Amino acid sequence: MATSQRLVSTRAATLPVGVYTDPGQTGLQLRVRSKRRGFSRAWMLRFKFRGEESRILLGHFPETTLEEARKLASEYRELASSGIDPRRARPRRLERAPERSVSAAVAGPGARHSIEYLASEFVERHVRPNRKRPEYAEAIVNKNVLSEWKGRDARTIKPREVIDLLDKIVARGAPVSANRTAALLGQLFKFGIHRAIVEDSPVKLLMQPGGKERPKQRVLTDEELQAFLKDPIACTRQSRLSHVIQILLLTGQRRGELALARWRDIDTKGKTWTIPAENSKGGRSHVVPLSAWALDEFKRLKKSAKRSPWVLPAADATKHLEPKLLTRGVAKCLKRFKAAGVKEFTLHDLRRTCRTGLARLKIEPHIAERVIGHAQEKLAATYDVHAYLEEKRVALDKWATHLVGLKAVKPERNANNE
C-alpha cells in the first residue's frame, strides 16, 4: 500500500521497501524493492487516460533525480490532459523494461496519431502513387524510422530526436542514407500536417546530416575497359553478371531498367530494346538501338532465362531480379576486378563511361543525351518529337566499334618477353 509523505532526495535514498506517493507532484510515486544486492528505487507515474488507470516507469533513483522525476511526471500528465497517451510519448532511450506489476499496454499501431499510422498512410497515399520505386522509400521508413520510434505518438517526437536518429545513421557509416532519410522525414511530417495527424513537424534541419554529396565522376579508362573485356568471366565469376555489365556498358542504360526488362521488350529483328515509361526513371518510354554485340549479349541471357518472361529472372522465374542484387554482385567481385587492373566502380559508372565515350567519339551532345535517355529541355521536348532512332544507332554502333577495338588490342610486351 502506498504511503503519502513529502519526498526529498535524502529521504528517497534511505526509504525502506514500499511504495511512496509524493504530495508535491500528483501521481508521482517512488517504489522501493529489495534486490539481491541492495534496493531498486523506481519512479512511477500513476495516471488515468480515457478512463483507464495505468502506471509508467519514469526512471530509477538516483540516475533520475527527484527534480527530473517531478518534471517528467508534470509533462506526461499534461500530455494526458491534451489527449496524448503518455505511454506513447517517451523516447525509447528513456524506456526501461516494464516490471510485471506495471501496465505496459499501449494503443495499437493503428492508433490515429501513432508513428506507425502516419507512416502507413504516407506510404499508401503518397509514396506508392507518386514514386517510380516506392519500395526504396518504404525500406528507409521501416529500417531507419519505425525501428527507432516504434510505438511512439508522432505528435511527441522532438527536433532533437530527429537529429539523434540521423546522427546514428551517419555514425554507422551511411551519410548518404542519412540525407535520404532526412528528406523522407520532412515529407512524412508535412504529409502528417496535411492529413491532420500531427500539428507541426519536428524536422527543422539547417543542413544535410550527411554533408554535401559530391557528384560522382568515376569513368572507366580505356585500359580498364580493355582489362575487363579481355576476360569478363575472370572478373565476375559468373556469366550472367558479365553479360549484364557488357550490356550496360554498350547501351548506357540503368541497372533498374535492365532488371525490369521483359523479353517482349527486346526486338531481335529490329535490333532494339524498348524501355517502357513505367520502367524509366524519367517516366518516358525510350527505344535503345542494339549493336550486334549488345544483341548477342541479350541472346546469351536468353539461354539462361529459359522460359521466364524476364530478361533477368529471380530464383522464382515468375519474378524479376532485384536491381540491388546486381550491385551486390559487382561489390563481391571488386577484388577480382582490382586484380585484373580495374579500380572500384559501380554499375552506374558504366552509364557515365558510355556517355563520356560518346563525347570522345564526337557524337553530338543532343544525340548522346538521347542515347542514355536523359530528358530534353522543355521547349525541345515539346516541339521536337522525332525519335532520332537512326542517329542513336549510329552513335551506339560507333561506341561498340571502339570497345571491339579495345578488346582486340594485345597487351604490350615488356623487354623480358621480347
CB atoms within 10 A of CB 358: 24
Cell digits for 330? 559487382
Supply the pLDDT for residue 411: 52
Domains of the chain, by residue range, sit at 2-87, 115-194, 222-417
> Cα–Cα distance between 43 and 102 in angstroms, integer?
12
Q: What is the pLDDT of residues 349-380, one digit of tens each?
A: 999 999 999 999 999 999 999 999 987 665 45
Supply the pLDDT for residue 235: 95
Q: What is the pLDDT of residues 211-241, one digit of tens each?
A: 988 777 899 999 999 999 999 999 998 899 9
Of 65-74, 103-112, 125-134, 274-283, least confident by mean pLDDT is 103-112
**Taking the model in full, what pTM does it have?**
0.61
pLDDT surpasses 60 at 103: no
- The residue among 258, 245, 251, 287 whose CA lies nearest residue 270 is 287
> Cα–Cα distance between 86 and 73 in angstroms, integer?
10
> Cα–Cα distance between 53 and 298 in angstroms, integer?
67
Supply φ then ψ for residue 88, to 5 degrees. -105, 5
Sequence-distant (≥ 6) Cβ neighbours of residue 323 within 8 angstroms? 255, 256, 259, 260
The answer to whether 73 and 25 have CB atoms below 8 angstroms apart is yes
The whole-angstrom distance between residue 209's C-alpha and the CA centroid of its chain comes to: 15
- Give just the sign of the alpha carbon dihedral 88, 89, 92, 95: negative
The whole-angstrom distance between residue 389's C-alpha and the CA centroid of its chain comes to: 36
Supply the pLDDT for residue 36: 72
The whole-angstrom distance between residue 73's C-alpha and the CA centroid of its chain comes to: 37
Q: In the structure, what pLDDT confidence band is assigned to residue 40 with cuts at 50, 70 and 90?
A: confident
* Same topology between domain 2-87 and domain 222-417: no
Of 106-110, 325-329, 361-365, least confident by mean pLDDT is 106-110
Name the 3-class secondary structure at 201. Answer: coil
Q: What is the pLDDT of residues 295-310, one digit of tens each?
A: 999 999 999 998 999 9
The answer to whether 400 and 293 have CB atoms below 8 angstroms apart is yes
Top mean-pLDDT range of 80-84, 106-110, 254-258? 254-258
Supply the pLDDT for residue 412: 53
Supply the pLDDT for residue 378: 58
CATH 3.40.50.1100 is held by the domain 222-417: no
Sequence-distant (≥ 6) Cβ neighbours of residue 147 within 8 angstroms? none
Supply the pLDDT for residue 376: 67
Please report the DSSP string for 131-178 in residue order: -SSHHHHHHHIIIIIIHHHTT-BGGG--HHHHHHHHHHHHHTT-HHHH
Domain at 2-87: CATH code: 3.30.160.390
Q: What is the pLDDT of residues 333-343, one digit of tens each?
A: 999 999 999 99
pLDDT surpasses 90 at 109: no
- The residue among 21, 57, 238, 316 whose CA lies nearest residue 30 is 21
Task: Name residue 306's amino acid.
Answer: K
Query: If phi over 0 gives left and psi between -120 and 50 gives alpha, with beta otherwise, what is residue 193?
Result: alpha
